[in-house]
A = this chain, B = another copy of it.
Amino acid sequence: MANPLIDDRTVDFILHECLSITDLLKLPRYSGHSRETLEMSLQTARKLARERLFPLYRAMDLDPALYRDGRVHTHPAMKEVYAQMAEAGFLSASRPSTVGGMELPHAAALAMIAYLAAGNGSAYGFAGLTTGAAHLLESFGSDELKRTYMEPMYAGKWTGTMALTEPHAGSSLADVRTTATPRPDGSYLIRGSKVFISGGDNTFSENIVHMVLARMDGAPAGTKGVSLFCVPRLRVEDGKLVENDCGPSGTFHKLGWKGLPSIALQMGDRGDCRGWLVGPANQGLRCMFQMMNEARLMVGVGAMAVASAAYHEALQYARDRPQGRALTNRDATTPQIPIIQHADVRRMLLAQKAIVEGSLMLLLTCARYADLMEASENEEERSSARQMLDLLTPVAKTFPSEKGFEANALAVQVLGGYGYTSEFLPESYLRDQKLNTIHEGTTGIQSMDLLGRKVLMDGGQSMRALVEVMEKDMAAAKETPRTAELADELKAALDAWVEALTVLGGRAAGGDIDAAMQNSVAHLELAGQAIVAWLWLRMATVAERALPKAPEHDRAFYEGKLRAADYWFHHQLPRVYTLATLLKREETSFTTMPLEAF
């Protein structure tokens, strides 16, 4: 059986039975859509992912993009497949019709994109980055920039990138050194080097538009002096495309994502690189955060997707591969059984399922908040959706990346020795997955965002809002017998989390920021475990209610959701207590350790 990449029935279950996304269609912004149009778009994505993107996946892994003669040569199939993604409308799926978009709810668009990312993360990566770059111009660019550079990106003619990182500074954006010197015509002369620019060059699109962080002459030090510029590979002059002194100086050889080159970008070596300011001067980081937040969710989607594709490979293998016998059967003349009948193989499969589907629910929940934040008619609803989305974004980026890596390792393990070989796909998905804990803000960066900015700095307001939502779902779960017990377990875990936060809040209030923040990664892990438990509780509650009236052929589906919830609560959620204890502890093993003692 061909790899489904993501389970369709689960996507439908989450979108409709758990998140009721058709409710969103009552909002004026989405009124052009119906459940049928959403369904059609989703089918297009599924078909493209399975029939076009996935068959290219291994080929692109084995034949990576290469730097030669000053350009990065991407896989020859990319031209056609990129055009197909553009033609199907995926570059502007959730954008308004004024820019040629399909105006789909984010939740529907995210589900579509998830299939593409699962089919071929590298190929989709070009599209996702282009959407993000074009959206920056849509939000903050002048009319001329929109006409000149945004439109061809949304139209699929040109691609786009985000260019933040510099070799000497990595994640420290306060230390951006790329310079922008004003020219008489209103443009800027750009000079500098960027690294790790995904999709930073290719040989299938006519032009590439980089969204670049740089520092205007005389700008203040630190993040307050960083501005956003539109810096194309070819600039438009008198209606023609001319070289803009901006291109790759090499690619990085990477562990995975071999089809999507990560390049070193050189700008202004010949003093002729022009850029155009996007948004207000010195507020580049604020503008860029739009793309960074979108990109963080996209990383989560990619991480879920690659864990899902691997899970389905492992599941199919486990169903087909006979090996060994039941523990209590010592009769070697009886036939071997499929390995899915071994307890530990089932455990590894259910762990993957719980991580994958929990991640998917988390991401679609975030997308639904994004819809309400942007399209609700009610200001309070918009602002509370923003609060939830802000709080959940670092978790939605990190949980699928960190736990997805565990899931991907288990997919390899299910296949045993074969899993370690390139005869099968799991080894390649494992390589791809590792990037997701690093790019668009490492797990460490996300953890400081969550604990510092999103939890402690707002005095616990967002946390209280989250607890309220969770409590509503727990109350609902109490009404059916199988989920009632889980609701109690979630309540206890939530209490432990809140108690730990009270201790950390006290430290921060007492001025000891370092002590409050030192285990921020443990806190992010705790948050992920608890939030995904909450979401599994929601899914289990829906499943338990649906089960009695479900047709025979659908019962196993709902049973699977209840089992995955059980797995999560029994095997994963208890980690919350260990982490909460750690957070409360005054612990200095690594913080005050002498440097020479490592």
Q: Which residues of B contact A437 (CB under 8 A)?
A: 409, 413
Contacts A327-B513, A431-B255 given; indicate if A417 touches B575 (C-beta within 8 A): no
Tell whether, in the assembled complex, residue A405 and residue B413 are in contact, meaning their CB atoms are under 8 Å apart.
no
Closest chain B residue, CB of each to CB of A579: B574
Identify which of B255, B522, B559, B567 contacts A590 (C-beta below 8 A): B567
Q: Which 9 A-B pairs have the closest CB atoms?
A: A222-B332, A560-B597, A566-B589, A556-B596, A567-B589, A346-B590, A172-B324, A344-B444, A174-B332
* B-chain residues with CB within 8 Å of residue A171 when the two chains form the complex: 323-324, 416
B598 near A315 with CB under 8 A, answer yes
Kindly state the separation between the CA atoms of A518 and B16 in the bound complex, as whole angstroms: 35
CA distance A409 to B255 in the complex (A): 12
Contact B254 A422 (CB under 8 A): yes
Asked if B413 and A435 sit within 8 Å, CB to CB, the answer is no
Residue among B333, B412, B416, B570 making CB contact with A589, cutoff 8 Å: B570
A434-B420, A571-B582, A589-B567 known; A330 and B597 CB under 8 Å? no
Q: Which residues of B contact A422 (CB under 8 A)?
A: 253-255
Within 8 A of B (CB), among A407-435: 409, 412-413, 416-417, 419-423, 427, 430-431, 434-435
Main SS of the interface on chain A?
Answer: helix
Q: Given A420-B438, A430-B255, is A582 in contact with B574 using a C-beta cutoff of 8 Å?
A: yes
Establish whether residues B517 and A343, one from each chain, have CB atoms under 8 Å apart when the complex forms: yes
From residue 515 to 531 of chain A, which have CB atoms closer than 8 A to chain B? 517-522
Question: For residue A571, which residues in chain B have a CB less than 8 angstroms away from its CB?
Answer: 522, 582, 589
* A252 is an interface residue with CB less than 8 A from chain B: yes
* Contact indicator B587/A521 (Cβ below 8 Å): no
Residues of chain B with a CB closer than 8 A to A170's CB: 323-324, 416-417
* Docked pose: A346 CA to B444 CA in angstroms: 12
A409 & B420 in contact (Cβ 8 Å cutoff): no
> Which residues of chain A have a CB within 8 Å of any CB of chain B?
165, 168-172, 174-175, 195-196, 221-223, 252-256, 262, 315, 319, 322-328, 330-333, 336, 340, 342-347, 349-350, 353, 405, 409, 412-413, 416-417, 419-423, 427, 430-431, 434-435, 437-439, 442-444, 447-448, 513-514, 517-522, 556-557, 559-560, 563-564, 566-567, 570-571, 574-575, 577-578, 581-582, 585, 587-591, 593-598
The residue on B at minimum CB distance from A318 is: B598
Structural contact, B444 and A434, CB atoms closer than 8 A: no
Contacts of A517 in B (CB 8 A): 327, 343
- CA separation between A325 and B448, bound complex, in Å? 14
Q: A521 touching B175 by the CB < 8 A rule?
A: no
Cα distance, A175 to B409, chains bound together (Å):
27
**A593 — nearest CB in chain B belongs to which residue?**
B563
How far, in Å, is A241 (CB) from chain B's closest CB?
Answer: 31
Q: Chain B residues with Cβ under 8 A from A570's Cβ?
A: 582, 585, 587, 589
Task: Provide the bound-state CA to CA distance between A350 and B324, in Å.
Answer: 40
Task: Please name 14 pairs of A and B residues whose Cβ atoms are closer than 8 Å in the assembled complex, sorted by A.
Answer: A170-B417, A171-B323, A196-B417, A223-B332, A253-B423, A262-B417, A327-B514, A340-B595, A342-B444, A413-B437, A560-B593, A563-B590, A567-B589, A577-B578
